[in-house]
């Protein structure tokens, strides 16, 4: 593969380990609704498709729309103030972003709402590293729909095939495939070993150094 002209990163499970803050906000939400807390691993398995879907799964069963909307309002109010309390960058990620931002444009494409996304980027001094940030509520569609990735390519004046997607999930892989962009799976994120193996023949990076080599082409 030739080196990409721009790189788009997922956030949760790719750049940052946000499991504890997400689980805390989910369990505060459940507590306010009279529900027992969930284990950390349970919550992690629900992450990836945006806040509304996370809340729906966390309620269990087939909750009515009204309850999902109420829970979503509670979750967003509880999550944003704590979204940087225990969230941390994965080892080596900050240095990689500093290096890569000097080589080519970088962007973030996540299903997390845009406001807490930007708070996290600001917390770690990453805001200047990224030309564009698209959250799960920025556009009408979110991953695995390719709209966000295509919009970033459009803003950068590049073809989708020139823009690489870096992520830790099947959703990120499907997004890149739908856009026609190259993809690399980081193996330090939220994806379980069995689920990761099920993705088949896909480019993989087991650590940041491997990702650095992949990005270099």
* DSSP line for 22-65: HHHHHHHHHHHTT-PPPPHHHHHTTTTS-HHHHHHHHH-S---H
- Whether residues 26 and 127 share a domain: the answer is no
- Whether residues 147 and 186 share a domain: the answer is yes
CB count within 10 Å of CB 197 equals 9
Average pLDDT over residues 156-182: 97
In a domain, 37, yes or no: yes
In a domain, 1, yes or no: no
Is the pLDDT reported for residue 101 higher than 90? yes
In a domain, 179, yes or no: yes
Instruction: Give long-range contacts, CB 8 A cutoff, 24+ apart: 137-141.
Output: 137/50, 137/113, 138/114
Residues in the chain: 217
Is the pLDDT reported for residue 122 higher than 90? yes
- Whether residues 13 and 105 share a domain: the answer is yes
Catalytic residues: 10
- Whether residues 95 and 50 share a domain: the answer is no
pLDDT tens string 42-75: 999 898 888 999 999 999 999 999 999 999 999 9
In a domain, 97, yes or no: yes
Q: pTM (2 decimals)?
A: 0.95
- Whether residues 103 and 196 share a domain: the answer is yes
In a domain, 54, yes or no: yes
Is the pLDDT reported for residue 193 higher than 80? no
In a domain, 167, yes or no: yes
- Whether residues 176 and 118 share a domain: the answer is yes
Among 82, 97, 122, residue at a domain's last position? 82
Distances (CA, A) of 42 to 37, 48, 59: 10, 13, 12
CATH number at residue 93: 3.40.50.1000
- Whether residues 68 and 138 share a domain: the answer is no
Q: Residue 37: give the domain boundaries.
A: 19-82
Alpha-helical regions (H) of 83-137: 93-103, 114-123
Using a 10 angstrom Cβ sphere, with 0-12 exposed, 13-18 middle and 19 or more buried, the burial of residue 1 is exposed
- Whether residues 10 and 24 share a domain: the answer is no
pLDDT recorded at residue 49: 85
Among 82, 97, 113, residue at a domain's last position? 82
pLDDT recorded at residue 37: 97
- Whether residues 51 and 77 share a domain: the answer is yes
- Whether residues 125 and 24 share a domain: the answer is no
Report the distance separating Cα 55 and Cα 72, nearest Å.
Answer: 6
Nearest to 18, CA basis, from 136, 133, 121, 127: 121
User: C-alpha angle with apex 96: 177 to 202, nearest 5 degrees?
Assistant: 25
- Whether residues 151 and 173 share a domain: the answer is yes
- Whether residues 169 and 93 share a domain: the answer is yes
Tokens of 32: 């306010």
Structural domains counted in the chain: 2
Kind and range of the H or E run holding 82: helix 65-82
Backbone angles phi, psi at 41, to 5 degrees: -60, -35
In a domain, 205, yes or no: yes
Among 82, 115, 135, residue at a domain's last position? 82
**Residue 170 neighbours by CB under 8 Å, 6+ apart:** 191, 195, 199
CATH number at residue 48: 1.10.150
In a domain, 136, yes or no: yes
Helix (H, G, I), strand (E, B) or coil at 4: coil
Is the pLDDT reported for residue 7 higher than 80? yes
Report the distance separating Cα 175 and Cα 10, nearest Å.
Answer: 11
């Amino acid at each position: 593969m030739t080196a990409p002209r721009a790189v788009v990163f997922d956030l949760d499970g790719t750049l940052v380990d946000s499991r504890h803050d997400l689980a805390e906000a989910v369990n505060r939400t459940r507590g306010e609704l009279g529900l027992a807390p969930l284990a950390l691993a349970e919550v992690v398995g629900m992450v990836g498709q945006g806040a509304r879907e996370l809340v729906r799964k966390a309620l269990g069963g087939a909750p009515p729309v009204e309850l999902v909307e109420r829970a979503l309002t509670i979750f967003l109010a509880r999550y944003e103030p704590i979204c940087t309390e225990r969230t941390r960058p994965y080892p080596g990620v900050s240095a990689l972003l500093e290096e890569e931002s000097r080589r080519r444009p970088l962007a973030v494409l996540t299903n997390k709402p845009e406001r807490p996304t930007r708070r996290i980027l600001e917390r770690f001094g990453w805001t200047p590293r990224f030309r564009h940030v698209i959250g799960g509520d920025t556009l009408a569609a979110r991953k695995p729909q390719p709209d966000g990735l295509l919009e970033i390519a459009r803003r950068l004046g590049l073809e989708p095939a020139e823009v690489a997607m870096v992520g830790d999930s099947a959703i990120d892989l499907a997004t890149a495939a739908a856009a026609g962009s190259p993809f690399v799976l980081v193996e330090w994120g939220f994806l379980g070993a069995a689920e990761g193996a099920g993705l088949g023949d896909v480019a993989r990076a087991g650590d940041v150094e491997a990702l650095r080599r992949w990005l270099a082409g």
